[in-house]
Amino acid sequence: DGGITQSPKYLFRKEGQNVTLSCEQNLNHDAMYWYRQDPGQGLRLIYYSQIVNDFQKGDIAEGYSVSREKKESFPLTVTSAQKNPTAFYLCASGYQGGYGYTFGSGTRLTVV
């Protein structure tokens, strides 16, 4: 996947459960991002991180949490506070200034 890997590809969550989506990159990118995409819709920014140990809320951060303990990894936790989590989640990474911006293959999360 061009050096950025998301797992799992499909994930099922029960009501009231927290789940964590993995995103790993070996491109030496400084910046990493999480987006949510609903069917037929565009990309909405959840969280982003420009450097290790620092991250910022995007447009729809409520009900989500992230960490950036390593440059290569930016996991996203979908908490029970997110009332409508069923969506396609995309991770992306890039150099400072947006160059080399690359998407992972996505995780499709479904609430059961």
Residues forming the site for another protein (CB under 8 A): 1, 31, 33, 40-43, 45, 48, 50, 88, 90, 96-99, 101-106
Min. distance of Cβ 82 from another protein in angstroms?
Answer: 21
Min. distance of Cβ 75 from another protein in angstroms?
Answer: 18
Between residues 80 and 88, which has the closer beta carbon with respect to another protein?
Answer: 88
Between residues 71 and 79, which has the closer beta carbon with respect to another protein?
Answer: 71
Min. distance of Cβ 16 from another protein in angstroms?
Answer: 28
CA distances from 54 to 25, 27, 30, 32, 75 (A): 17, 19, 11, 11, 13
Contacts of 22 (CB under 8 A, 6+ apart): 5, 6, 7, 8, 73, 75
> Running DSSP on this structure, what letter comes out for residue 73?
B
